[in-house]
Amino acid sequence: MRSQNKTDHDKRYMLAALELAKRGLGNAWPNPSVGCILVKNFTKKNKSEIIGRGWTQPGGRPHAEIVALKQANYKTLNTIAFVTLEPCCHIGKTSPCIKEIIRSGISKVVVACRDPDPRVSGRGLLQLKNAGIEVVYGVCKKEAEKLNEGFFKKIKIGRPMVTVKVATTIDGCIATRSGDSKWITGDLSRQQGHLLRAKHDAVLVGVGTVIKDDPSLTCRLPGMKKFSPIRIVIDTTLRTPLSSQLVRTSRSYPTWIFTNKIETSSRVKIFRKNGVHVISLANQKTKNKVPLKTVMKKLAQEGITRVLVEGGSKVITSFMREQLVDHLVLFRSTKIIGSNGLTVAGNLKIERLLNAISFNRTSIRESGEDVVESYER
């Protein structure tokens, strides 16, 4: 497929489409978050006009292309479409986007990257070309693939993207020896933590955190509670209190619990009666703990593409040991607790520096008095 004839204008409009796509992160699952911009009179210098914009809507429908076409009232003859992901060509719950694009009279489609879904993967681009539509492929390809990293991982390796978020002191502690952690960081950092929740499909904690802190794990920024993620608890023996916020609010904000309790357990039935989605892994070989790789596989099967792990230390340690962490976000405060504080990760059983888990720092910025450090593997 052609990747030549890319212009600065192509890149400019595609970057704008990528910004639109970001708006769907955390609520477009099980679908990828896609952005689309429709441009009229593209070849007339300084007279180009954006006539339609769209991004994937909550729940994955409608797709970005359809939103943009409707905004343009389908008056798109000889228009150019800039799409961050190859348009779908398979029949699902709705008509494929390729069919609508061809029918609309669009003359050229600029695509950032291919859809890794085997039902699409190159077929959509080929159908456009066969319909006589000019196709330019590969504009901002790396940026587009990075944006939908979780979706790509779900398709290619069968698990979602995992981000660990931690509030820590200068010396790497997440709480005092007694477990006191409110609040290590300032208001601005905590607000950004809530925004991270909104940008992920699910937020995950261990049962220890539920018992100790009774968190709600919702997005409590003004006007954004509707973007709260699925709340997931790793709870081997179903110790989550029925009086916890996660259980009491499960009909408004879904709560999923992974456990080793058998399906017919009376405890499982009680949780389900209270609206909690309980996933039993009792038939797994590991009896004393919930196998995280199996959890990730199950989440991918449910359509989850982006998971935010918020703790506690035992859960973070387990994710590190299993090599499941893709991104690490540290909100580092100006405080120091000392050697008796609870650290980010527990014993990783690393004896030699050569075997240490390494990350690449991607950004560092101020957040009030705190510093936010982002890393990736």
% of the chain surpassing 70 pLDDT: 95
Give the per-residue pLDDT at 158: 97
pLDDT at 144 over 80: yes
For the residues 347-370, what does the mean pLDDT come to?
93
In the predicted model, is pLDDT for residue 285 greater than 80? no
Q: Which tokens sit at 232?
A: 């997931």
Domain with CATH 3.40.430.10 in the chain: 157-376
- For the record, the structure tokens of 359 come out as 């990350």
Does residue 351 carry a catalytic annotation?
no
Q: Given pLDDT bands bounded at 50, 70 and 90, which one contains residue 2?
A: very low
pLDDT of 350 above 70 = yes
Q: Do 123 and 91 form a contact (C-beta atoms < 8 A)?
A: no
Average pLDDT of the segment spanning 126-146: 95
Domain limits, CATH 3.40.140.10, in the chain: 8-151
What is the pLDDT at residue 352? Answer: 92
One of 3.40.430.10, 1.10.12.10, 3.40.718.10, 3.40.950.10 is the CATH number of 157-376, namely: 3.40.430.10
Mean pLDDT of the chain: 92
CATH topology of domain 8-151: Cytidine Deaminase; domain 2 (3.40.140)
Q: CB-side exposure of 176: number of CA atoms within 13 Å?
A: 8
The residue ranges of DSSP E strands in the chain, in sequence order, are 35-40, 49-55, 80-83, 108-111, 134-137, 161-168, 173-175, 202-206, 230-234, 255-259, 277-280, 306-311, 327-332, 342-343, 360-367, 370-376
pLDDT per position as a tens digit, 99-108: 999 999 999 9
Asked if 52 and 37 touch (Cβ cutoff 8 Å), the reply is yes
What is the pLDDT at residue 164?
97
| 353-365 mean pLDDT | 94
pLDDT greater at residue 364 or residue 43: 364
Residue 262's pLDDT band (cuts 50, 70, 90)? confident
What confidence tier does 7 reach under pLDDT thresholds 50, 70, 90?
confident
pLDDT above 90: residue 92:
no
Least confident of 152-166, 277-291, 348-362: 277-291
24-78 pLDDT per residue, tens: 999 999 999 999 999 997 665 667 889 999 999 999 999 999 999 999 998 888 8
Catalytic residue (one of 19, 49, 65, 134): 65
Q: What is the mean pLDDT of residues 241-266?
A: 94
The yes-or-no verdict on residue 348 having pLDDT over 80 is yes
